Amino acid sequence: MRRRRQDTGAARAPRPVPQLSHPFSPQAIFSDDAVADLHATALEVLETLGIRVLLPEARELLAARGARISDGDMVQIGADMVNEALRTAPRQFTLRAANPLRDREIAPGRLIFAAGGGCPNVTDRVRGRRPGDLAAFRDALRLQQHFDVIHTLAPAPEPQDIAPNLRHFAMTQAQLELSDKPLVVYARGRGQVEQCFEMVQLAHGLDFDRFAAAPRCATVINTNSPRLLDAPMAQGLIDFARAGQMVIVTPFCLAGAMAPVTVAGALALQHAEALAAITLSQMAAPGAPVMYGGFGSNVDMRSGAPAFGTPEHIQMCIGSGQLARHIGLPWRSGMGTAANTNDMQAAGETHMSLWGNLMAQATLVIHAAGWLEGGLTLGFEKFINDVEALEIIAHLCTPPEASAEAMGFDAIAGVPPGGHFFDSALTLARYREAFRSPINAEMANFGTWQEAGGATAEERATALWQTIIAEFRPPPGCDARADRIIDYVARMEAVGGAPILD
Amino acid sequence: MRRRRQDTGAARAPRPVPQLSHPFSPQAIFSDDAVADLHATALEVLETLGIRVLLPEARELLAARGARISDGDMVQIGADMVNEALRTAPRQFTLRAANPLRDREIAPGRLIFAAGGGCPNVTDRVRGRRPGDLAAFRDALRLQQHFDVIHTLAPAPEPQDIAPNLRHFAMTQAQLELSDKPLVVYARGRGQVEQCFEMVQLAHGLDFDRFAAAPRCATVINTNSPRLLDAPMAQGLIDFARAGQMVIVTPFCLAGAMAPVTVAGALALQHAEALAAITLSQMAAPGAPVMYGGFGSNVDMRSGAPAFGTPEHIQMCIGSGQLARHIGLPWRSGMGTAANTNDMQAAGETHMSLWGNLMAQATLVIHAAGWLEGGLTLGFEKFINDVEALEIIAHLCTPPEASAEAMGFDAIAGVPPGGHFFDSALTLARYREAFRSPINAEMANFGTWQEAGGATAEERATALWQTIIAEFRPPPGCDARADRIIDYVARMEAVGGAPILD
């Protein structure tokens, strides 16, 4: 197969990575009145039905601010508490990266991509489908670091070969060693979170106050729909808020399974759960950086499995965007596919959900590259093909030039009827930068393509990720940051790390 | 492989096929001022540079209305003539189908899909890639007829086994025999066009005046960019206009090849050519049904081949929509992919261009199913997978319910924290219709899917198109319509049909 002219970016000099803003206006599936009704329904759910909160500390925190506790761990949260939280939750803030050129402003209208996260498995065309391990986790980080269109790091595949009590060391260490992008930390219990925060402070030479002044780490807090907030999630909300780190609140409301079968009903539940979690975060630390989130879809009624890229997924996404705008917060959404392999279904559902995110004007689009099997597997070839799509969208964020020269009267005048523009002065002056160059798509005609081996997009992607990983060099500063945590990690590992909180 | 529960629609009773309207607001890549400038640039191109028109009859028609002829066949068209044409071109009209339930209103804001057209080749996983023949053309019509989301017929693959002077009989006959949707007729010279119109009149029992009163046939008129209108195209514009049949004017402006390298410049050229063709149509018959069209993209600068689904393709699409709205006409656009096989590139580019069409609010989206290789091949598996996407979009045209019941407070109240909604009353009442059922996508988890054979979306699509074609029955009325043209076709074939006009 012909070698792509892809710049694999080995040892690239740092350069600004422009922040993307959405190119399209946000769309609506509900009237403004219906959105207000959905918000009111969610408030009524919290006030009258309540949410089960398994962590005593969280219940006490909410009760101290006026929530009513019943049946042991049911917490009824009044609209006044929610409104107070929405007053203090910041509309915008900056998620810091080791490389300041990669800082991302988190604010409505911005467009930020993160790769697939949370996958227990990994697959590629060379080694097949297998449980995630640290080597694959590190390779996935190399791919994430390589492409500028991946803006913040995501945790996948799960390094299952590392003991759970030590895994957070390996995951944080890998990110510090290989990337200069904003970090991801799992909220799997206070002990692990505090050790991860400690590592980031050491790596960056920050005391706690300076660390807490601006988020460098993000975590996703999934509620356990319906209406349940478990202990590690509640603890994570509190700990991240108090350390000034970014919490992404994401109920995962599957219509017809863990949420009402209607799009509106699933959104009402999602909204209630998200508001409860945002309220807890703001009660723990007013002004803490928090994102609203929704990653709702439907279940397939045949298999009971989550579906993605469906009309209902897109509608839930757009409806989530309306709710996020209603409360004025930046918000995260997600892409995905239920496909089990790199086929047209995988690409189709992924693109459908990508565009749903654009219609919904999601601030942070998670699972934007590499997801397969509804997130159970991270695919390296899928990653490459998804990045192709993300780069196309990134390109669309800059409108085309509309100068008199660009409108081309002189160029048109210079080419006779039936002629061509290949050697027009306008073409010669601009052709190098005129069009985005694909990373993996092949435009050659059938005969040329077939003679060159007839490789599919999946097959070509293998060569590309292999080259990127083979030529990968960590960006400047990584070595120094990684060195600063070696002793700490050794010391903490020696005393057994920290357990996962159940 | 497990048999899909797809209703293959054999001998279905006629039922209304709702007309789609765009679910999203039209987007912009240029300011209103820039759009006005583009329009002015196009008018200046027509007025000062002109367009080469190879058909004397067309030149005379334009000259009689004030156009200036120079250098033999160069025609300079003034803004006043263009404005006059834009005054008489209808803003909306109805494209009639044999089955009135399939009539389509052609008007801005409507959304109409047509399958891939113009492909010389055909491919499927059973018989491989080969030149198009009549059997494949007829099978493609069966697929087009089967899916309601395909609204009007498209000509592909080309039945190359039929002599060019007789091919129009076979193509029109096949449409009348197999479908009750609006028809497509190639403008390949007056003789062929008149014979096709005669067949349609006979089949429907219409005299010419009643036939000409409402369009039942559509044709695509491609200008030969840059600035050239060849004889069959010019003749087609005149003949279709005078017979009241629908002309879809579509310059095919590839930025950097047959058009300026800039998006704005390629659009200016496209707009000039489209306005010239629309003007000719309206000078031939004021009020004739005509659509503005654009199918611009960029060339791949590595191979020189047309690219699709690129940022520039999407931008040209959105810009075309702005220009169409500027002149107030319904308009056609196109989807496509340059991929040579059913891979993630094929699905990715197709989805990108589909969504570009949605952002552009194209009235008629051509090449919406089955296109491969930039239109050189119609793929049956690709057709199935593309229809999956179109059906998802069609589903999005209906917003979700926003009633109090749908918002789900009662359903949420009825399920305890951590429970599920599988047997909620709301779910039981609605689950059958709650979600769109995919035709080819597979949601089962990896293990189940693998045990069932691990078929890819491409492989599953083979079984589906085979079943549809095997079980296909023409809709009511086809037999009668087909019978009415048998004698005519035999008579005309006996005298040699009609030649293709070069």
- Give the contacts of B331 (CB within 8 A, at least 6 positions apart): B108, B291, B292, B293, B294, B320, B321, B324, B362, B363, B364
**pLDDT value of residue A371:** 97
Tell me if chain B has a CB within 8 Å of the CB of A488.
no
**pLDDT value of residue B13:** 57
A131 neighbourhood in chain B, CB within 8 Å: none
| Nearest alpha-carbon partner for B51 in B234, B190, B186, B220 | B234
B31 neighbourhood in chain A, CB within 8 Å: 402
Alpha-carbon distance A74 to A59, whole Å?
9
How many angstroms separate the CA of residue B483 from the nearest CA in chain A? 41
Whether the CB-CB separation of B173 and B485 falls below 8 Å is answered with: yes
| Nearest alpha-carbon partner for B219 in B12, B87, B364 | B364
Three-state secondary structure along A436-447?
CCCCCCCCCCHH
pLDDT at B209 over 80: yes
Give the Cβ contact number of residue B479 at 10 Å.
12
Alpha-carbon distance B297 to B275, whole Å?
19
pLDDT in tens, B274-287: 999 999 999 999 99
Q: What value of ipTM does the predicted structure carry?
A: 0.96
Between the two ends of chain B, the Cα-to-Cα distance in Å is 49
What's the rounded mean pLDDT across residues B448-452?
96
**pLDDT value of residue B14:** 62
Residue B46 is given by DSSP the state: I
**pLDDT value of residue B360:** 98
Q: Chain B, 207-226: which have a CB under 8 Å from a chain A CB? A: 224, 226
A74 neighbourhood in chain B, CB within 8 Å: 417
CA A259 to chain centre: 22
What's the rounded mean pLDDT across residues B95-115?
98
Q: How confident is the model at residue A11 (pLDDT cuts 50, 70, 90)?
A: very low
pLDDT in tens, A104-146: 999 999 999 999 999 999 999 999 999 999 999 999 999 999 9
pLDDT in tens, A376-396: 999 999 999 999 999 999 999
Do the Cβ atoms of A265 and B411 come within 8 Å?
yes
Q: How large a percentage of chain A has pLDDT more than 70?
A: 97
Do the Cβ atoms of A45 and B385 come within 8 Å?
no
**pLDDT value of residue A12:** 52
B418 neighbourhood in chain A, CB within 8 Å: 52, 224, 226-228
What's the rounded mean pLDDT across residues A439-466?
97
**pLDDT value of residue A10:** 45
**pLDDT value of residue B218:** 98
pLDDT in tens, A317-359: 999 999 999 999 999 999 999 999 999 999 999 999 999 999 9
Alpha helices in A361-438 (DSSP H): 380-396, 404-407, 409-413, 425-434
- Number of A/B CB contacts below 8 angstroms equals 439
| Average pLDDT over chain A, rounded to an integer | 96
Q: Which one of B383, B443, B446, B449 would you mutate to disrupt binding with A, by most A Cβ within 10 Å of its Cβ?
A: B443
Q: How confident is the model at residue A239 (pLDDT cuts 50, 70, 90)?
A: very high
Alpha-carbon distance A263 to A320, whole Å?
10
Q: How large a percentage of chain A has pLDDT more than 90?
A: 94
Count of H-run helices and E-run strands, chain A: 19, 20
Tell me if chain A has a CB within 8 Å of the CB of B486.
no
Query: Which chain A residue has its CA at the smallest distance from B387's CA?
Result: A348
| Structural tokens at position A148 | 């500028």
| Structural tokens at position A99 | 């490389």
**pLDDT value of residue B5:** 43
Q: Which one of A46, A343, A378 would you mutate to disrupt binding with B, by most B Cβ within 10 Å of its Cβ?
A: A343
B149 neighbourhood in chain A, CB within 8 Å: none
- Helix pair angle (B311-327, B32-44), 10° resolution: 80
| Structural tokens at position B447 | 């293990």
B227 neighbourhood in chain A, CB within 8 Å: 412, 416-418
Alpha-carbon distance A370 to A103, whole Å?
23
| Structural tokens at position A251 | 């109920």
Tell me if chain A has a CB within 8 Å of the CB of B72.
no
pLDDT in tens, A26-80: 999 999 999 999 999 999 999 999 999 999 999 999 999 999 999 999 999 999 9
Query: Structure pTM?
Result: 0.97
Using CA atoms, how far residue A20 sits from A204, A391, A455, B290, in Å, is: 26, 11, 33, 39
Do the Cβ atoms of A315 and B418 come within 8 Å?
no
Whether the CB-CB separation of A498 and A195 falls below 8 Å is answered with: yes
- Give the contacts of B127 (CB within 8 A, at least 6 positions apart): none
pLDDT in tens, A61-71: 999 999 999 99
Tell me if chain A has a CB within 8 Å of the CB of B206.
no
Burial class (CB in 10 A: 0-12, 13-18, 19+), A286: middle
B443 neighbourhood in chain A, CB within 8 Å: 300, 302-303, 305-307, 338
pLDDT at B6 over 50: no
A402 neighbourhood in chain B, CB within 8 Å: 30-31, 34, 37-38, 264
Q: How confident is the model at residue A464 (pLDDT cuts 50, 70, 90)?
A: very high
Strand A377-379, strand B20-21: pairing? unpaired
pLDDT in tens, B426-449: 999 999 999 999 999 999 999 999
B358 neighbourhood in chain A, CB within 8 Å: 355
- Give the contacts of B433 (CB within 8 A, at least 6 positions apart): none
Strand B51-53, strand B74-76: pairing? antiparallel
**pLDDT value of residue B12:** 52
Q: How confident is the model at residue A427 (pLDDT cuts 50, 70, 90)?
A: very high
pLDDT in tens, A396-423: 999 999 999 999 999 999 999 999 999 9
pLDDT at A278 over 50: yes
pLDDT in tens, B78-92: 999 999 999 999 999
**pLDDT value of residue B208:** 98
Q: How confident is the model at residue B11 (pLDDT cuts 50, 70, 90)?
A: very low
**pLDDT value of residue A465:** 98
pLDDT at A4 over 90: no
Whether the CB-CB separation of A114 and A151 falls below 8 Å is answered with: yes
- Give the contacts of B73 (CB within 8 A, at least 6 positions apart): B52, B53, B54, B59
Tell me if chain A has a CB within 8 Å of the CB of B21.
no
Tell me if chain B has a CB within 8 Å of the CB of A342.
yes
Q: Chain B, 422-461: which have a CB under 8 Å from a chain A CB? A: 422, 424, 426-427, 430-432, 434-438, 440-446, 448-450, 454, 456-458, 461
Which residue from B30, B266, B392 is facing A311, i.e. has the nearest CB? B392
What's the rounded mean pLDDT across residues B169-184?
98
| Structural tokens at position B42 | 């196009």
| Nearest alpha-carbon partner for A242 in A190, A202, A201 | A190
| Average pLDDT over chain B, rounded to an integer | 96
Q: How large a percentage of chain B has pLDDT more than 70?
A: 97
Q: Which helix (H) or strand (E) holds B229?
A: strand B228-229
pLDDT in tens, B300-324: 888 888 999 999 999 999 999 999 9
What's the rounded mean pLDDT across residues B389-413?
97
Which residue from B312, B403, B438 is facing A435, i.e. has the nearest CB? B312
Q: How confident is the model at residue A8 (pLDDT cuts 50, 70, 90)?
A: very low
| Nearest alpha-carbon partner for B400 in A252, A253, A257, A35 | A35
Tell me if chain B has a CB within 8 Å of the CB of A496.
no
Residue A46 is given by DSSP the state: I
CA A172 to chain centre: 17
pLDDT at A3 over 80: no
Q: Which one of A47, A382, A412 would you mutate to disrupt binding with B, by most B Cβ within 10 Å of its Cβ?
A: A412
Do the Cβ atoms of A129 and B446 come within 8 Å?
yes
pLDDT at A304 over 90: no
Q: How confident is the model at residue B9 (pLDDT cuts 50, 70, 90)?
A: very low
